[in-house]
Amino acid sequence: MKHHHRNPRARGGRKRQPSRRDPLIGFEADVTIEQIGARGDGIAHVAAPDGKSVLIYVDCVLPDDEVRVALRQKRGDGYGAEVIKEIAHGGGYTPPKCSHFKECGGCALQHMQESDYRAWKHDKAMVALKRAGVDPQDAENIIADVEISPPASRRRAGFSVHVGATGVFVGFHGRFSHTVLNVPDCAVLRPEIMAFRAAFVTFLSSCPPDDARDIKEVFVTLTDTGLDVLVQAGKDPDLDMRQDLAEFADAQNIARLSWKTGDLPDEPVAARQTPLVSFENVDVPIAPGGFLQATNEGEKALVKAVTSVVAEIAPKHVADLFCGVGSFTFPLALSGKRRSVTAVESDPRAVELLQYAVGQSGSPIKVVQRDLFRQPLSGDELRDFDLVVFDPPRAGALAQCEALAADGPEWVLAVSCNPATFSRDMRVLRNSGYEILKLVPVDQFLWSSHLELFAVLRRTSVQ
């Protein structure tokens, strides 16, 4: 048999074409910022060389700012652009609150005057209602004043860690960058967390470089009994590192310091006190890195909104869905007249800790572990309640809202940390006969684009 040897040059298949560079990348133009978009960046239009109008998104600007920009990357239906020269500020500018504002990716609008910032958050709530199908005029009557947490009030933070030849960095990623920036004067975090950050930089600087380089992130939560710290690393600490961490926790008066290697379960390295948070005078333990509302002020605003409605409608049997460790559960059960509450959560650690607190307090609460995304309460289960409260993650509660649309009670209270999924879920409920009576915007992430929404719904008709 004759062997035929292929000539790879002759039979190389389709000839590769060189990648085409977008001709607008690097294009420069002078623009006037038109408005602030949903993500907190400025929106403007520039005339491209071919005469077409191009939408651009510009960071760290305000309406009516005049700037020269360079287009840097394609972004959705437009381009992300970088300011290369500030020509003139518009009328709403105020000096930013920290020196890292334009470098750090944490805050978008430190330079916006408070009245304009409050109006922008109100407008985000308005957009969420309109996307849920609410008439704009009705929406204006529904929205309450925005509850804004003050500076230096954030009680939890996740710091990125980088240890290299240029030093130790414990902070946040730069704007549109993987570079970790030290942030010694962060204007949003509680002073206790900032003091920890500075001490942790010193601690890592004194560690053997190989051990320090293995630490990737550190999560810090300020609880009622002190700081709860979770270190995320690529390998387990050796005995010397464990001893050093225990001494560090003691010197900094840290309630608990835990270590987590990759995807393995976390383990306590120094457990000096149990990290606790109090709801209606009931102490509840939290897991390392466990979820809490971002600020005490934001939590109080949401709880006040919930309990004020409960006081009016006086339900007897309440379901608290996606309940976490009980920030709404205990106020629902114990504020004013006591009532029975069924608290449902999928996280087994949160369920275990909530069950413990319920048992210690003797509260009229039943705790259930259940994945409400896959197995929402439905049918006869829902008919046992005269009020349902839900506070899901950013993905929203679509499956549960579809079940509520079919068999939900007269009253529903919805809490959302994502206006987009909030609008989607509210459309489902409104289409089934629920009416949104009130919306309270709560801003726990100061100077960012994030916004929480609390909605009161009542079924006015059956579809």
Active site residues: 417
User: What residue spans of 288-414 are helical by DSSP H?
Assistant: 296-313, 329-334, 348-361, 380-383, 398-407
Cα–Cα distance for residue pair 111/92, rounded to 1 Å: 8
Burial of 171 per CB tally in 10 Å (0-12, 13-18, 19+): buried
Cα–Cα distance for residue pair 166/179, rounded to 1 Å: 12
What 3-state DSSP class applies to 127?
helix
CB 47 within 8 A of CB 57: no
Q: Among candidates 362, 334, 330, 356, which has minimal Cα distance to 343?
A: 330
Residues in contact with 218: Cβ distance below 8 Å, sequence separation at least 6, in sequence order: 158, 159, 161, 170, 200, 229, 230, 231, 232
Cβ count near 327 (within 10 Å): 21
Strand partners, 453: 416, 441
CB 321 within 8 A of CB 396: no
Cα–Cα distance for residue pair 429/437, rounded to 1 Å: 13
Cα–Cα distance for residue pair 119/153, rounded to 1 Å: 21
Cα–Cα distance for residue pair 7/410, rounded to 1 Å: 76
Cα–Cα distance for residue pair 281/284, rounded to 1 Å: 9
CB 101 within 8 A of CB 60: yes
Cα–Cα distance for residue pair 34/223, rounded to 1 Å: 42
DSSP 19: P
Question: What separation, in Å, do the N-terminal and C-terminal C-alpha atoms of the chain show?
Answer: 77
